[in-house]
């Protein structure tokens, strides 16, 4: 289920902390970030002495290739945000231009860390729904702006398989946001996926978080093993 249509555009440590309501305790756990792309979360976590492995099919490419692709799409991303500016809440970023500048800074931070992180095994080329990790290897699995975001391109079954795989490798899964990026509403798969995840023996709940850039996008889906 690799998506050629997804764009390499990354978020920061501060955004991850707020999107996933990460506490100091959470940050100290072993974390896997699924679809982290060119986010600076891994670079900034590592600088702070925390443990995170990022997984993305993008990591088959070199830093130079990723940098080229990011620069290629940057103007288009800013233009898209300007065209659809009503779909966003302009408090963290005051304008599409500031958004573009900050996103490029984040990608630069990722790129500066990428080659050494790849050698250290912190950036792993892999794609959901198959993760190259042992059962229970992590405490927390995060997925930002991939599942639900691309609901037009990924089926309900794709979502279920991806979430169950994240549950296999981690005790807790957090997914943000639960909105579709194309129409801005809640993912049409959300209710059915929650029900099927529960039937598979997990607890699933929507949790309000203190982050909202896509208008209405201030909830994450949290999945844990149900108490027996």
Ligand X SMILES: C[S@@+](CC[C@H](N)C(=O)[O-])C[C@H]1O[C@@H](n2cnc3c(N)ncnc32)[C@H](O)[C@@H]1O
Residues at the contact surface with ligand X, assessed by CB under 6 A: 1-3, 6-11, 34-37, 39, 55-58, 127-128, 144-146
Residue count of the chain, please give it.
228
Helices 96-119 and 63-83 pack at an angle, to 10 degrees, of 160
The least distance separating ligand X from the CB of residue 143, rounded to whole angstroms, comes to: 7
Q: Which residue number places its CB atom closest to ligand X?
A: 37
The dihedral built from the CA positions of residue 152, 157, 159 and 162, taken in this order, carries a sign that is negative
Q: Which is nearer to ligand X, 4 or 227 (CB)?
A: 4
The least distance separating ligand X from the CB of residue 166, rounded to whole angstroms, comes to: 10
Region for 145 from its dihedrals, namely left if φ exceeds 0, alpha if ψ lies in -120 to 50, beta otherwise: left
Q: Which is nearer to ligand X, 8 or 117 (CB)?
A: 8
The least distance separating ligand X from the CB of residue 68, rounded to whole angstroms, comes to: 15
The least distance separating ligand X from the CB of residue 125, rounded to whole angstroms, comes to: 10
The least distance separating ligand X from the CB of residue 226, rounded to whole angstroms, comes to: 25
CA distances from 117 to 37, 64, 144 (A): 13, 15, 20
The least distance separating ligand X from the CB of residue 187, rounded to whole angstroms, comes to: 15
Q: Which is nearer to ligand X, 198 or 215 (CB)?
A: 215
The least distance separating ligand X from the CB of residue 228, rounded to whole angstroms, comes to: 30
Residues pairing with 32 in the sheet: 53, 141
């Amino acid at each position: 289920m690799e998506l050629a249509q997804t764009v390499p555009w990354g978020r920061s440590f501060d955004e991850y902390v707020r999107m996933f309501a990460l506490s100091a305790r959470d940050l100290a756990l072993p974390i896997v970030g699924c679809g982290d792309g060119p986010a600076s979360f891994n670079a900034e976590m590592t600088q702070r002495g925390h443990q995170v492995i990022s997984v993305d099919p993008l990591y088959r490419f070199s830093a130079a290739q990723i940098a080229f692709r990011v620069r290629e799409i940057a103007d288009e991303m800013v233009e898209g945000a300007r065209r659809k500016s009503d779909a966003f809440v302009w408090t963290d970023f005051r304008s599409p231009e500031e958004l573009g500048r900050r996103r490029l800074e984040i990608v630069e931070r990722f790129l500066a860390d990428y080659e050494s992180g790849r050698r250290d095994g912190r950036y792993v080329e892999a794609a959901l729904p198959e993760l190259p990790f042992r059962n229970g290897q992590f405490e927390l699995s995060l997925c930002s702006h991939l599942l639900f975001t691309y609901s037009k391109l990924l089926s309900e079954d794709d979502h279920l398989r991806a979430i169950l795989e994240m549950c296999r490798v981690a005790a807790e899964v957090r997914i943000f946001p639960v909105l579709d990026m194309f129409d801005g509403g809640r993912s049409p798969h959300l209710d059915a996926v929650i029900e099927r995840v529960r039937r598979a023996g997990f607890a699933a709940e929507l949790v309000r978080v203190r982050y909202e850039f896509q208008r209405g996008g201030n909830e994450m889906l949290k999945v844990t093993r149900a108490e027996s």
